Amino acid sequence: MPYQQILEDIAREVAPLAGAGKVASYIPELAKVPPGHFGMALITLDGRLYTTGDAHERFSVQSISKVFTLSLVIQHIGERLFERVGKEPSGNPFNSLVQLEYEQGIPRNPFINAGALVVTDELMRHQPDAKAAVLDFVRRLSGTPTIQYDPAVAASERQTGFTNAALANYLKSHRNLYHDVDQVLDAYFHHCSLSMSCVELARSFLFLANHGVLPATGERLLSASQAKRLNAILLSCGFYDEAGEFAFRVGLPGKSGVGGGIAALMPGRWAVAVWSPEINRHGNSVRGMKALELLTTLSGESIF
Amino acid sequence: MPYQQILEDIAREVAPLAGAGKVASYIPELAKVPPGHFGMALITLDGRLYTTGDAHERFSVQSISKVFTLSLVIQHIGERLFERVGKEPSGNPFNSLVQLEYEQGIPRNPFINAGALVVTDELMRHQPDAKAAVLDFVRRLSGTPTIQYDPAVAASERQTGFTNAALANYLKSHRNLYHDVDQVLDAYFHHCSLSMSCVELARSFLFLANHGVLPATGERLLSASQAKRLNAILLSCGFYDEAGEFAFRVGLPGKSGVGGGIAALMPGRWAVAVWSPEINRHGNSVRGMKALELLTTLSGESIF
Amino acid sequence: MPYQQILEDIAREVAPLAGAGKVASYIPELAKVPPGHFGMALITLDGRLYTTGDAHERFSVQSISKVFTLSLVIQHIGERLFERVGKEPSGNPFNSLVQLEYEQGIPRNPFINAGALVVTDELMRHQPDAKAAVLDFVRRLSGTPTIQYDPAVAASERQTGFTNAALANYLKSHRNLYHDVDQVLDAYFHHCSLSMSCVELARSFLFLANHGVLPATGERLLSASQAKRLNAILLSCGFYDEAGEFAFRVGLPGKSGVGGGIAALMPGRWAVAVWSPEINRHGNSVRGMKALELLTTLSGESIF
Amino acid sequence: MPYQQILEDIAREVAPLAGAGKVASYIPELAKVPPGHFGMALITLDGRLYTTGDAHERFSVQSISKVFTLSLVIQHIGERLFERVGKEPSGNPFNSLVQLEYEQGIPRNPFINAGALVVTDELMRHQPDAKAAVLDFVRRLSGTPTIQYDPAVAASERQTGFTNAALANYLKSHRNLYHDVDQVLDAYFHHCSLSMSCVELARSFLFLANHGVLPATGERLLSASQAKRLNAILLSCGFYDEAGEFAFRVGLPGKSGVGGGIAALMPGRWAVAVWSPEINRHGNSVRGMKALELLTTLSGESIF
């Protein structure tokens, strides 16, 4: 079945799931997003684009931005990052302090919030203006110079982000944060506030499906080994405490955000992004997960 | 045996324990205290004072101040406090985030750090200038208007108090902190920086041995039932995760601080304070605990 | 107010609490007990007995038996027991495996189930027939040679005691159980099945109120220091994860059982037992706790 | 590079790692295995076999047997199994009781010991002689009717398997075990005692690389979707608390055992097994993990 038809079938099949989740409410600004949106975009390595629904509308990518920050840090220091952060699935909610305490300030992986704070802190050692660095990187990946942070979302997160402030302070108490707590949080909240469309997100994930090379320019961003390993972390840790469920039902490396977006990829083939703001209690988009499950079923493509 | 002789015997017996603990180092200012100090003061309800060693030298009372803050809050709102904080022993180190997460933002008791932050926050609802309120209360209790906060200790704690900042932010994320995180921390760190001598501390605990009435003035500060219950919390929770050990070896309600002080009391008889800066890995003074164990053994007095 | 009148007032005051708890159902045999019972007995050191309600009716003492086993072991090896078991409050339900795992097979105190299994195992080293030893001890304490185990309760517990079997096996895996798992469980379940009345229980606790000496015979069972320390453990650990609440509301060393019994004591004065089968979610008798709270309030006696 | 050469290069490269791990000692019978062994076998879907070292020597497959039990249960009841056991990575050691307690008797995945006990229990509902069923299945998968359980290993594990007995009892206390604890343990310990060579193991994993069809006979054992999902669980959960590390370094679905074996597969291509008895502190073969890492590096094949 051609991808375009697959996407349209998916859009039809997931429509009845409207209402099965809830728009994220812990950040007031996110709670304003209308729940009904659904968009999906798939781009092949050779540049063919398939879309359905609100694939061109921008939304808050939230934790999906952690993939960009991590890629940049891997560019700078490679696997030395893993002296400061683990790469094991967490088995706990994304903002758990418990795990951090038992593991004495070493976050379990780069995609739980504590891990992403460490990654941000590490990025700041190499790129003091970490906000500009990530924005620039995403614009290059997507070929879209108009991508912006959403200052209202960043400010909203800052005003209510007490759990992240707790994590950052705790990391600091374990000497696993070099910079000032407030500066790290400021960069982190900005990264999360990136506003992108499914098309832009899918395009930004293509280099991970292409063994580290950005297809549009031929530029190598990561070594093949680094790209493979980043994909492994995405598969193991990309979906909070539903990583196993996602591997089981979908079987693709990917990353979700509480804004309702998910970006994923099939190595050697394509990248995909889907957006639907209603999330389940684990923080993952209900229609988004179903859409990707249908994609691998209907296309017969999965890494397993 | 008369109390004076008991105290002198104790001073002699605990001397060989010098070096068995370590001066608290996590607050740089505390680390400067010479380890060799030992002082002890016992005051009976009828006002007789017995001392040995450095009983008149002031030191940083640290967590012992939590008894003063708690007493003030009990004066204001009584047991309604216990909607915001528990009264069970913690079984975990004093600054554990784990417990706070499992119990969803309700600290287990008022003497772990998270609990003391909630108590401080509650005090601020009734006495906006919580720093002045505690200082004034302690001066009244001890009859010593010269007692002061140590600004160097407060500042030192503030600069390195990332764990407490993590706890305060986490409480805030669970809506169990009404005031601004920084304001609560500022009051809390000042309370901990109180500088008092054993004589002053022992005098300040007399009202708890006297069913809530300050012996020097006859003023009732707590009801008899409130004083009894506060003593119960001291026995259950006053020694971090060594509360059971302290009950077992000593058998008195009391409270320790990482500055090496311990204040305790025998209901209906006397209050006592001891100071020796070397603490064990649980945060309790090594010579202080031994001194109080000897006190109950030699005097034959204990609540059990 | 004379004790007899206090007990009658208590009986009247706690009556309306009928229905506020539930009879323990996890052991089928216990679930058969009619919920309406209430009995209470207080005995002074000089032998005066006061009773109300079903004070002479026998019931399953369950965990209260742990005090007898522990006393016997303390007789045999004193404080060396505490190399195998701690003496800190647990802050967790009485049958928690979590704590045992974090503390690598050393139960936190002798009154959580894991701790009592270790105490039973230790007793078997000194008294191979641990069932006969405890029965004999209790008969001596209470001066009542007719006290028996209830074989139906012991059998019922054995058939459904999978959590205790889990704990015993886990202790064995940490080499903190010398005897065969099944033998230890058999002794333990028999001890729990002891059937005693409030009068018999109160009499059996008198030696702890009398600094280790059985008042009826003048026989010293524990040294004064041992009795004091056992009382300290009772206060810290005698009520599962409500030890703090009990210290706060009642303020006496004591021990509860899921059969609805509680035995407690006022050092130097008296011992008391109360029975009412409806327990709260922590495993403690609802009317029993209230009765003891009223006892300390109305008599004005408490260790604090 | 041809597979044969890759295997020989690997054998040479991992040789210096001898001594970097330790032979499993918690089962006395396993501790007798000489540490020096190294064997490896790779079989392609079209039946070509490549071997190096001790590839034909049998060893105790231990936890690798969990893949066979799970496959059989999936054959019988499909995904309904996942009402009794999760499919999320555990983030804890393979025999953790903590997780089981927090998740109220639902093991996190089928490959931690508690999960495998539930899978065994489920198998017994459909194949009362679960020992014969697994043995028969493995003989069919490998085309080797001589495969046997090792009774000495099974007996050794039974005598020392107190942690597994604790887990089984705990599952029973949560009503997540239908059969008698001893019967389930007996079947489980026998499954773990399977004695197989690398060649036999690799052959037994081929159907998972072949979308559920046994290549030798063309027989469909699992649906394509079931095979894909089983592979996902292998990747997420197959290596105790090193699943992330294995995905990161190797990037293949697989399963390890404390006997030092690892079996893995490349979907659509081949299956592989490696054996070297020295394991790291996570229970995974040191040389085995390195060998598989080199295999994906030298062959350029990985699912990522």
B104 and chain A: CB distance < 8 Å anywhere?
no
Residue D28 confidence (pLDDT) above 90: no
Residue A94 confidence (pLDDT) above 70: no
CB pairs under 8 A between B and C: 107
Task: Inspect the interface and report whether the beta carbons of A232 and D225 lie closer than 8 Å.
Answer: no
What integer pLDDT is reported at residue D103 of this predicted model? 75
Q: Tell me the shortest Cα–Cα distance from A18 to chain B, in angstroms.
A: 29
D175 and chain C: CB distance < 8 Å anywhere?
no
pLDDT category of residue B37 using cuts at 50, 70 and 90? very high
pLDDT category of residue A189 using cuts at 50, 70 and 90? very high
- Count CB neighbours of D85 within 10 A: 23
For B39, C190, C253, C283, the CA distances from C261, given in Å and listed in that order, are 46, 17, 14, 10
Percentage of chain A lying above the pLDDT 90 cut:
89
Partners for D (CB, 8 Å, 3+ pairs)?
A, C
What integer pLDDT is reported at residue C91 of this predicted model? 67
Please name the residue of chain D whose CA is at the shortest distance from the CA of residue A239. Answer: D88
B116 and chain A: CB distance < 8 Å anywhere?
no
Strand partners, D256: D262
For B206, B212, B214, the CA distances from B217, given in Å and listed in that order, are 12, 12, 6
Cβ atoms D130, D123 nearer than 8 A: yes
Domain A3-299: which CATH class? Answer: alpha beta
Task: Inspect the interface and report whether the beta carbons of C231 and B90 lie closer than 8 Å.
Answer: no
The amino acid at residue A43 is I
Cβ atoms B280, B258 nearer than 8 A: no
| pLDDT digit string, tens, across residues D204-263 | 999 999 999 999 999 999 999 999 999 999 999 999 889 999 999 999 999 999 999 999
Task: Inspect the interface and report whether the beta carbons of B165 and A163 lie closer than 8 Å.
Answer: no
pLDDT category of residue B95 using cuts at 50, 70 and 90? low
Task: Inspect the interface and report whether the beta carbons of B267 and C92 lie closer than 8 Å.
Answer: no
CA–chain centroid gap for B108, Å, is 17
DSSP string, A17-33: GTTSSEE--SSHHHHTS
pLDDT category of residue B91 using cuts at 50, 70 and 90? low
The phi and psi torsions of C165 (rounded to 5 degrees) equal -65, -40
Percentage of chain D lying above the pLDDT 90 cut:
89
Domain map (residue ranges) of chain C: 3-299
pLDDT category of residue A95 using cuts at 50, 70 and 90? low
Task: Inspect the interface and report whether the beta carbons of B169 and A165 lie closer than 8 Å.
Answer: yes
A299 and chain D: CB distance < 8 Å anywhere?
no
What integer pLDDT is reported at residue D94 of this predicted model? 57
| pLDDT digit string, tens, across residues A125-170 | 999 999 999 999 999 999 999 999 999 999 999 988 999 999 999 9
For A85, A224, C204, D260, the CA distances from A81, given in Å and listed in that order, are 7, 18, 64, 29
The pair of structure tokens assigned to B113 is: 């750090």
Query: For chain C, what's the residue count?
Result: 304
| Ramachandran area for residue A300 (φ above 0: left; ψ -120 to 50: alpha; else beta) | left
Which residues of chain D make contact with A249, given a CB cutoff of 8 A? 229
Mean pLDDT value across residues D79-94: 85
Residue B94 confidence (pLDDT) above 60: no
DSSP string, B171-231: HHHTT---S-HHHHHHHHHHHHTEEE-HHHHHHHHHHHHTTTB-TTT--B-S-HHHHHHHH
Cβ atoms D219, D95 nearer than 8 A: no
The phi and psi torsions of A269 (rounded to 5 degrees) equal -125, -65
What integer pLDDT is reported at residue D278 of this predicted model? 97
- Dihedral sign (CA D249, D250, D255, D260): negative
Task: Inspect the interface and report whether the beta carbons of B244 and C236 lie closer than 8 Å.
Answer: yes
Q: Which of B109, B248, B301 to mutate to test the interface with C (most CBs of C within 10 A)?
A: B248
| pLDDT digit string, tens, across residues B99-119 | 777 778 899 999 999 999 999
Regarding an ipTM greater than 0.90, the answer is yes
Q: What is the CATH number of domain B3-298?
A: 3.40.710.10
| pLDDT digit string, tens, across residues B231-241 | 999 999 999 88
Q: Tell me the shortest Cα–Cα distance from A123 to chain B, in angstroms.
A: 21
Q: Residue A264 is inside which H or E element, if any?
A: strand A261-266
Which residues of chain A make contact with B165, given a CB cutoff of 8 A? 165-166, 169, 172, 181
Task: Inspect the interface and report whether the beta carbons of C173 and D166 lie closer than 8 Å.
Answer: yes
Which residues of chain D make contact with C100, given a CB cutoff of 8 A? 97
Mean pLDDT value across residues D39-60: 98
**Half-sphere exposure of residue A191, counting CA atoms within 13 Å on the CB side?**
31
A25 and chain B: CB distance < 8 Å anywhere?
no
| Burial class of residue C281, CB neighbours in 10 A (0-12, 13-18, 19+) | exposed
Say how far apart CA A175 and CA A169 lie, in whole Å. Answer: 10
Please name the residue of chain C whose CA is at the shortest distance from the CA of residue B244. Answer: C88
For A242, B68, B115, C237, D35, the CA distances from B237, given in Å and listed in that order, are 38, 15, 11, 12, 51
What integer pLDDT is reported at residue D302 of this predicted model? 93
Q: Tell me the shortest Cα–Cα distance from D164 to chain C, in angstroms.
A: 8
Residue D285 is classified by DSSP as B
Query: For chain A, what's the residue count?
Result: 304
Q: Which of C160, C170, C174 to mutate to test the interface with D (most CBs of D within 10 A)?
A: C170
Q: Tell me the shortest Cα–Cα distance from D199 to chain A, in angstroms.
A: 22
What integer pLDDT is reported at residue B93 of this predicted model? 61
Mean pLDDT value across residues D18-46: 93
What integer pLDDT is reported at residue B29 of this predicted model? 87
Say how far apart CA D105 and CA D171 lie, in whole Å. Answer: 5
Which residues of chain D make contact with A253, given a CB cutoff of 8 A? 304
Beta carbons within 8 Å of C261's beta carbon, 6+ residues apart: C59, C60, C61, C62, C64, C196, C198, C201, C273, C274, C275, C285, C288
Task: Inspect the interface and report whether the beta carbons of A98 and B96 lie closer than 8 Å.
Answer: no
The phi and psi torsions of A235 (rounded to 5 degrees) equal -65, -45
Q: Are strands C213-214 and C219-220 parallel, antiparallel or unpaired?
A: antiparallel
